């Protein structure tokens, strides 16, 4: 395989004066390589061109807590809001087309935030995390923090079936945080707190798992069949009383083949340095193969001093072809 290298573009995004992402939960590009930054600032969806020039913003007053973002081949956006338990579907200009799930009505799973973990798998949704489409346009939705399931919906928004229970065995999850569907319609699930990617048939039948990843937060499959994994590492997103030890893996980006073989991994020990990561939470590559990585720097630990609050929340990496 050709060697894959990326070079970070420092200061890529050009936000309007006085604007801030706070943190960027998800990122995706459309058919015109416009970049959508799904963020937790005052303007939840900020749109740039591929050079980082500001184009548009929308979503004010719509979202409770932006989480995962997916853009389909028709440029429709699928935005998961984990605090109000919905997936909203938009046109690129922000026109709302549909909402899956009932706002502020979490499914019953025995979960009590901060008190009781998920006790059993429930229906859609409880703190839903992310979305992916298969070749037919059907939706696979990862339902993570308050649930332990994957749900399949038709392209028209009808719920078909679900699978998953809390646990560590095959087909069980400890925070299914992201999802991707490959060209063979296999469903890949980032089982974050089990530090693995599980692979299923479209009907939910377990096939295999890859355990050489550290707390995978997001997945993206490019047209060449490469899987990009945003790895949260062992430092960000932990409870405040977690002791940070020198040997703990830092956040990184891993690139895998679709048999699970590691192609490359990058990201260094200094999370503030451009090109490294603190809390990578969203990942996407555009038509040219350039890579975008979104980070939840505030909730990942910036809110308690692990990194400065102005640490990079969105980075672009240009793919170098030799």
pLDDT digit string, tens, across residues 162-187: 999 999 999 999 999 999 999 999 99
User: By the 8 A CB rule, do 123 and 107 touch?
Assistant: yes
User: Could you write out the DSSP letters of every residue in 182-222?
Assistant: -TT--EEEEEGGGTEEEEE-TTS-EEEEE--SSSEEEEEE-
| pTM for this model (two decimals) | 0.97
pLDDT digit string, tens, across residues 128-152: 999 999 999 999 999 999 999 999 9
Sign of CA dihedral 127, 132, 134, 136: positive
The average pLDDT across 20-46 equals: 98
pLDDT digit string, tens, across residues 187-211: 999 999 999 999 999 999 999 999 9
pLDDT at 237: 87
Name the phi and psi angles at 12, rounded to 5. Answer: -65, -50
Counted residue by residue, the chain has a size of: 322
Cα distance between residue 39 and residue 83, in whole Å = 14
* Least confident stretch, 131-145, 238-252, 303-317: 238-252
Token readout for 65 is 């807590």
User: Could you write out the DSSP letters of every residue in 131-192?
Assistant: EEE-TTS-EEEEE-TT--EEEEE-TTS-EEEEE-EESSSTTEES-EEEEEE-TT--EEEEEG
Quickly count: other Cβ atoms within 10 Å of residue 321's Cβ. Answer: 10
Token readout for 197 is 């990617």
pLDDT at 241: 74
Cα distance between residue 81 and residue 69, in whole Å = 9
């Amino acid at each position: 395989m050709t060697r894959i290298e990326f070079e970070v573009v420092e200061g890529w995004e050009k936000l309007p004066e006085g604007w801030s992402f706070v943190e960027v939960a998800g990122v995706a590009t459309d058919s015109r390589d416009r970049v959508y930054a799904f963020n937790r600032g005052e303007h939840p969806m900020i749109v740039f061109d591929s050079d980082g020039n500001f184009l548009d913003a929308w979503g004010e007053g719509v979202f409770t807590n932006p989480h995962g973002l997916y853009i389909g081949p028709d440029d429709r956006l699928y935005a998961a809001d984990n605090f109000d338990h919905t997936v909203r579907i938009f046109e690129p200009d922000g026109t709302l087309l549909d909402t899956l799930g009932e706002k502020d009505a979490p499914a019953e799973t025995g979960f009590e935030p901060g008190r009781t973990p998920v006790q059993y798998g429930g229906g859609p949704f409880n703190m839903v995390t992310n979305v992916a489409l298969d070749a037919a346009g059907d939706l696979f939705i990862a339902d993570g923090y308050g649930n332990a399931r994957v749900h399949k919906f038709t392209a028209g928004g009808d719920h078909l079936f679900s699978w998953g229970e809390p646990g560590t065995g095959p087909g069980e999850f400890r925070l299914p945080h992201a999802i991707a569907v490959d060209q063979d319609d296999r469903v890949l699930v980032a089982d974050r707190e089990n530090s693995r990617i599980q692979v299923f048939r479209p009907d939910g039948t377990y096939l295999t798992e890859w355990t050489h990843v550290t707390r995978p937060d997001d997945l993206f499959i490019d047209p060449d069949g490469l899987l990009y994994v945003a790895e949260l590492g062992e430092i960000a997103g932990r409870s405040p009383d977690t002791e940070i030890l020198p040997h703990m893996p830092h956040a990184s980006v891993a690139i895998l083949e679709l048999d699970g073989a590691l192609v490359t991994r990058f990201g260094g020990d200094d999370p503030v340095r451009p090109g490294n990561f603190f809390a990578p939470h969203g990942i996407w590559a555009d038509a040219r193969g350039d890579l975008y990585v979104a980070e939840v720097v505030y909730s990942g630990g910036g809110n308690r001093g692990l990194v400065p609050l102005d640490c990079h929340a969105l980075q672009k990496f240009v793919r170098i072809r030799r």
